[in-house]
């Protein structure tokens, strides 16, 4: 078996280093949302908005989104959940997406378990992470994913790779983070069903709001 010459490894490292330097020192265009997120639908299917929060300057200084929404919704069956969408336009004032794997434990939530799942919406498969965390006696199901243009991603490494590719090919580094949270009582499957029904009803609006 022919061994790989060491100089090829050095060449690969140099090329990767140059690619990283190119991506992180160039100036990408700031890409706006298709619709401001405060115009996001307050009602879809059986869901109606019940509240909306605005973050203070201290929280925004950490998250650094260029547009966001934080809302609560309920349906006629009494199911309730919260929705957060954070959009980062990729410009100089836009910060990176913060992984829930770090943010949730940092907010006092203890990780219990997680798995990748998907739901079909109008013939399109929407993958997402289903993660359960607990704080004191409160248990929450978090359903989340990342978006880079038309790509729906469920891990941070794929997010970084997609952003690098998008930067090199299209001079764009915009990305979005979508997260639902549902209270878990005794039936985790019911909480998943509630979250998936919300995704089915609202994914077209999410797709319409975010740039592709």
Torsion, Cα of 131, 134, 139, 145 (10° steps): -20
> From the CB of residue 8, how many other CB atoms can be counted at a distance below 10 Å?
9
Q: Phi/psi of residue 34, each to 5°? A: -70, -35
Instruction: Please name the residues in contact with 138: beta carbons below 8 A apart, sequence gap of 6 or more.
Output: 183
Q: Kindly report the pTM of this predicted structure.
A: 0.85
Contact 111, 102 (CB under 8 A): no
- Residue pLDDT, tens place only, 81-130: 999 999 999 988 888 898 888 889 888 899 999 999 999 999 999 999 99
């Amino acid at each position: 078996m022919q061994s790989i010459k060491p100089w090829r490894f050095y060449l690969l490292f140099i090329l990767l280093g140059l690619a990283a330097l190119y991506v992180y020192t160039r100036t990408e265009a700031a890409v706006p949302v298709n619709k401001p997120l405060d115009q996001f639908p307050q009602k879809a299917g059986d869901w109606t908005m019940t509240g909306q929060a605005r973050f203070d300057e201290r929280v925004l200084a950490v998250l650094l989104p260029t547009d966001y929404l934080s809302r609560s919704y309920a349906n006629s069956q009494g199911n309730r959940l919260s929705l957060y969408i954070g959009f980062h336009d990729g410009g100089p004032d836009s910060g990176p997406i913060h992984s829930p794997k770090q943010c949730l434990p940092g907010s006092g939530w203890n990780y219990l378990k997680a798995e990748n799942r998907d739901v079909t919406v109008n013939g399109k498969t929407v993958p997402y992470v289903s993660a359960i965390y607990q704080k004191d006696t409160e248990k929450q199901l978090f359903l989340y994913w990342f978006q880079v243009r038309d790509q729906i991603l469920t891990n941070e490494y794929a997010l970084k790779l997609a952003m690098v590719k998008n930067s090199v090919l299209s001079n764009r580094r915009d990305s979005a983070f979508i997260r639902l949270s549902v209270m878990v009582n005794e039936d985790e499957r019911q909480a998943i069903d509630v979250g998936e029904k919300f995704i089915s009803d609202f994914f077209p609006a999410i797709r319409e709001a975010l740039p592709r």
